[in-house]
Structure 1
Amino acid sequence: MNPLVEPIDALAPTELIRTARHAVLAGIGNEGQRRLAAARVVVVGAGGLGSPVILALAAAGVGEITVIDDDVVDGSNLQRQVLHRIGDLGQRKVDSAVRAAADLSPLTRVIPVAERLTPENAARLFANAHVIVDGSDTFDTREAVAMASEQLGIPVVWGAVQEFAGQATVFWSAPPPGFSPVRLGDLYPLGSTGETPTCEQVGVLGSLCLQVGGLLATEVIKLITGVGEPLLGRVVVIDALRARQSEIPLRAAVPA
């Protein structure tokens, strides 16, 4: 797949040093790193999945990360929301994102959006993005992400974690030639999920959030730089208790 993002002209000397191990990777190199520096990524949710995604993308040198989350840091979430610290309790999660990203990558711009994502504001918040990461934990938010991204034709790197199980895939309503459109509704048809239990009710393995979040960040990097094969049309399913990772094909429920 061709890269999503055109590269900037040059990296700052400090960034060349900081990202040197990317520069020697086949398929990324200096040009791929310059693409990352030019990229604009929106991350929906700064919780269990958003935390490792934001950390990984900032460390990778992504130029701009917009973080959308209207919640504050709660002590019961710190076993999986590794972006935040004890000292952040009661503070906005998006503020933790700004601090953590600056500590990792001073040239990464983090735009904090302390709003709940809705069908009314999603298109506005996504308008300039190259890639969207959906790390939200409710289907109302996931459907709002899906509706806006499908309208705009922006790829969505999507993940979910509950108890000891995780999923990850890429949705894209307007992929490049050679790839078929795949949408959230092809995996979870509208209204099919019913009332899903919350993390508060059934729990979630914190370390699994890091595993799935790392996978999501890798998919973002692949899309931006054009390296590898994206998870478009494939869903990775992780069973942490049995240390098994499998893959299932995903096709459009109704041909485009």
Structure 2
Amino acid sequence: MERLILMGGIFLMLFILERIMPQVGRNIVGKSHDISNLGLGAVNLLIGRYFALFTVYALAKYLENLEVGVMNMTSFDSKFKLILGVILLDCVNYWWHRLLHRVSFLMRFHSVHHTDRLLNVSSALRFHFFEVLMGHLFKLPFILLMGIPVEALLLYDVIFNINVYFHHSNIRINRSLDLLLSKLIVTPYIHRIHHSLKWKESNSNFSSFLILWDKIFGTFHPQGDISTPKYGIPGYTQDKYQHFSYMMKQPFIEEKS
């Protein structure tokens, strides 16, 4: 419960700051934009977290009790295991994100996130629940192999969500500060490039928390001169792609706008 309160508090703070010091005007989307995104977030909270509880966390706890998995069979200090677990989970998320963009079936679900024409903190919740469930399943083999402790899963959940809120936010952030932070973590300017209408830009900057994965695996695209590209996917321009009811069924519909 404390984790949810902390994440909810950060979300609310960013939501307020976006209205005080926005990077981009809200006139490019309708009034229902945030409500639709929040609706998807509520579905994911109800379905995704219960699914994770009985899969990801249950497996991690089971392996911990049996001392199965690489990390459970080492004599590493518990704090080192915690840090290592967070780093490994972030690497797994990087490859999951790349896979979403590489496999057309998965991209059908991930496109719900990328059809957003305005990036703000509510966009961090704009994921189809099937993508969320598949993401949890993707983690299971790595948890089984590495024996990632439950504490690392819990800590990474907080770190991941807070940074996703931050780098999707529509806050006007000082460019120098963004450049400084982006040497370590994903920042708004860095992630806005990933949501660009241009394929070369959207096919880069897959990291969720630590930026080093993009730099190691050759998918890093620096901020450049344009800090706020146009967002979305070419062809998905109709207002229906911003409505909750359509986003829920969008992956199962063939037609484009």
TM over 0.5: no
Please give the range of the TM-score, normalised by the shorter of the 2 chains: under 0.3
The structure whose Rg is larger is 2
Q: Which has the higher contact order (CA 8 A, sep 6+)?
A: 2
| Greater strand share, structure number | 1
When the two structures are superposed, what TM-score results if normalisation uses the length of structure 2? 0.28
